[in-house]
Structure 1
Amino acid sequence: MKKLINSQDKVAVPVIIGLSIAVPVIVLILMLLPERYNFLGTSTMAFPLFHGILNFMTSILLIIGFYFMQAERYVEHRNTMISAFGLSVIFLISYVLSKISNEPVPYGGEGIMRYIYFFILITHIVLSAIIVPLVLFTMYRGLSGEYDKHAAIAKWTFPIWFYVAITGVLVFLFMMPYY
């Protein structure tokens, strides 16, 4: 079994590292596009609302998954976390499409709210890049049956992933008046 895991690591680890680098780079490039192509014909509010809903649902699933893990209901934990991962993948695909489709909308708030918004936004962005490899490695270790390694990395993954999901909702709420 150990040889199988090690041979799987030879493929999985480089794929995870490659995705962990590619995803933030692609998002950054798309944010810097000189021109947008709204080939879906969406309104400015459609994507952010969808993203807010996905982030909210992900945060709920993360809490439920944490509960199942604490209750030692590991099958339910696995299924819930796979669902949270699925929503995050849908979010990422949708987010890429939104960056291609719509011009960035500037935040119009003033005073202390502006500082709070930018603190939340900056920490959300930085941790969004960090969470990609954490989630991928956590999922891989859990699904490959390496539960000790899974638990060790999940201690870091869960709070960061939860923070990213919750702050995604907050960013939407802060920006809602400006869409």
Structure 2
Amino acid sequence: MSRDWLADDRAGLAAERILDAAAQLFADRGVTAVGMGDIAEAAGCSRATLYRYFDNRQSVRVAFVHRETRRIGARVLDQVATVADPAERVVAAMLGAVREVRAEPMLIAWFRAGESGPAGRISQDSEVIEAIAAGLFTSPELTDDERGRLARWLTRIIVSLLSSPGRDDDDERAMLEEFVVPVVLGALV
């Protein structure tokens, strides 16, 4: 029997440990203030070890965002799985994603004043985020390109709500129902 599975498992655990350490630093210091040396020290590894797993600070950021997006995406999709109305499904999913991020200090740190740049860039370039957001739309009327553009637009709106929140939950819901839902429903027709 090959021992390769053990090496893969250890590598995955090491990468998770590094991402966990980075997450705590992001929450404590802010995303843009955290460097590779900080992450290595917090993870209890050398910089050389850190660079074996991640090429640079941006790759740590992307890996962290992807990991958390998968977690949040799974929870939100579970929450809206039984919502039949397309309009309510979109609103509930978007507000659910916003709530999930706001509830987690390691995630909301990405949207503090002066910190949203990295999150915005990653969210627009990420095929992972796009695929999860596109999962809300199973309408056969949409091409894959249209579904992708719609997912990227909705992601921009979520990032906007996180960076510049509405007055309260009711205000955010009203904005989504009044301005986003008509566009989404129009795209699905």
TM-score normalized by the length of structure 1: 0.31
Q: Which has the higher contact order (CA 8 A, sep 6+)?
A: 1
